[in-house]
Structure 1
Amino acid sequence: MAEIGSHDVVVEVKDTNSTPEIKEEAGSSFSLPFFQKLIAEMLGTYFLIFAGCGSVVVNKNEKVVTLPGIAIVWGLVVMVLVYCVGHISGAHFNPAVTIAFAVTRRFPLKQVPAYVLAQQLGSTLAAGTLRLLFSGGHDQFAGTQPSGSDLQSFVIEFITTFYLMFVISGVATDSRAIGELAGLAVGATILLNVMFTGPITGGSMNPARSLGPAIVSNHYKGIWIYLLAPTMGAISGAAVYNIIRFTKQPLREVVRSGSY
């Protein structure tokens, strides 16, 4: 989720009121550290989907986890994984987050396809594992689908992902934030969003979270919502935070450089 301690970027802090300016190192895209990042993203997304979607499947079968329990699982697993591999890959686990960072120039654009592929692979493998474990009479769709209108679900997914990315931008890209609390803040945001949007949209906020189970179950109802709305919401959330981010630079320099 949060771009923390990346090996392939250089962070320059000009003063206490400025924020990190990300500069890509030449020739680093195919280095060993980059492949380590991809493995971290794949494994992190796998564990995220296995735990989160697993709680959904278990609740459908046993009716013991409940909606608050599912929300807590999603929030806790994100928090734990951010602290586990955030310093390796940035702990995105979400194509929408990766794309939003790239659009706002806080992540190398040429690394986006590999990151998204690793995240989607992890999600699909996790969904496949759950399908194997809960087969037969226990087979349940672990993905997301609208319970109401497509427009309602689209707007909800856009707003919740906007909110999530706004929080991520605040705690993970602003040098004045308390970085040690990034995992807690992001996990709590996901917990809150899933708590009240779960019954309506499934509380996705993540294209990989929805697409992985859809591929495994061959169930694509409303999938366009979960690919487009979170991506647009994340880009908007990151852009809006950059607008309100304090900077001593003149506006014309900010617009020209794309950095704060």
Structure 2
Amino acid sequence: MSTDVRKILAEFLGTFILVFVGGLAILSSGAAGDSSLVIIAFGWGLALLAALYAVGEVSGGHFNPAVTLGALFDNRVDTTTLIFYWIAQVGGGVIAGYLLLIASSQEQVGQMATVPGGAGTMETFFIELALTALFVMVILKVTTSEEFGGSALMAISLTYVGIHFAAYPLTGASVNPARTLATAIAGAQGTDIWIYLTAPFIGAIVGWGLYKLVTTGEVGVKVDELID
């Protein structure tokens, strides 16, 4: 099997693990009472950590179209890789979403789809944008700095846990278009889905810009390198 095929398969499997285990955490949280947010936050964070350890070394461990976009702007992937990663990420997420129907109803899976909670539409948009920017900035930083070493995966996962503690009651804390699209399709839930298919991509670019500004003091992208 070629290296490129293995990378695409890794993104498919990693996103599947993330959405399936994270979705099960939401289902389990229903009987947890006041501890539900803890279960959800650590459920998604540990699901990401498991996916990173399982297949992250093969593909770079994106499992998120917004992260792949940030990697494109940082010249870590090319546009062809981005397209195939996006297809794999959405595919893995959708399969996970439909398998969750075995353990729950379509209505319950639909409730897993990230929709605005305690925040209004525009508040949700800007929260998702800001948190995706933070997430992408952390990923770009810890995966290039030798000082983090083996703790990089833990830093990424704990950031994801923190994002859920901060925003799950407000927005559903997606910061991942594939995650939202997967559960929205399987659960037939499309409420304000446009927010989660736009804000994270904008946030990814903002996060990349902040990363470059902090690490190099300048922000610039070579368009010809993006389209190679």
Decide: shared fold, TM above 0.5: yes
Tell me if the contact between 2:14 and 2:56 (Cα under 8 Å) persists in the aligned partners: no
Q: Tell me if 1:164 matches 2:117.
A: no
Tell me if the contact between 2:106 and 2:187 (Cα under 8 Å) persists in the aligned partners: no
Partner in structure 1 of residue 144 of structure 2: 173
Tell me if the contact between 2:62 and 2:68 (Cα under 8 Å) persists in the aligned partners: yes
Q: Distance in 2 between matches of 1:40 and 1:193?
A: 24
Q: Tell me if 1:218 matches 2:191.
A: no
- Matched residue SS, 1:141: helix
Structure 2: gaps (5+ residues): none
Q: Distance in 1 between matches of 2:102 and 2:221?
A: 51
Structure 1: gaps (5+ residues): 1-30
Tell me if the contact between 1:194 and 1:203 (Cα under 8 Å) persists in the aligned partners: yes
- Given candidates 28, 43, 68, the residue that maps to 2:13 is 43
Deviation string, structure 1 residues 28-75 (Cα, Å, up to 9, x no partner) = xxx711111111111111111011111112223x23561011101111
Q: Distance in 2 between matches of 1:99 and 1:122?
A: 18
Aligned pair count reads 223
Q: How far has the Cα of 1:256 moved from its partner?
A: 6.3
More displaced stretch, 135-144 vs 231-240: 135-144
- Matched residue SS, 1:86: helix
How does the TM-score come out when normalised to structure 2? 0.89
What percent of counterpart residues are identical?
A: 33
Partner in structure 2 of residue 97 of structure 1: 67
Partner in structure 2 of residue 150 of structure 1: 121
Partner in structure 2 of residue 121 of structure 1: 91
Q: Tell me if 1:232 matches 2:202.
A: yes
Max radius of gyration: which structure?
1
Structure 2: which amino acid aligns with 1:89?
A: S
Structure showing the higher helix proportion among its residues: 2
Q: Structure 1 segments of 4 or more deviating over 6 A?
A: 136-139, 254-259
Q: Tell me if 1:63 matches 2:32.
A: yes
Q: Distance in 1 between matches of 2:155 and 2:59?
A: 18
RMSD: 2.4
Q: How far has the Cα of 1:197 moved from its partner?
A: 0.4
**Structure 1 pair 128–170 and aligned structure 2 pair: CA distance change class (3 A):** same
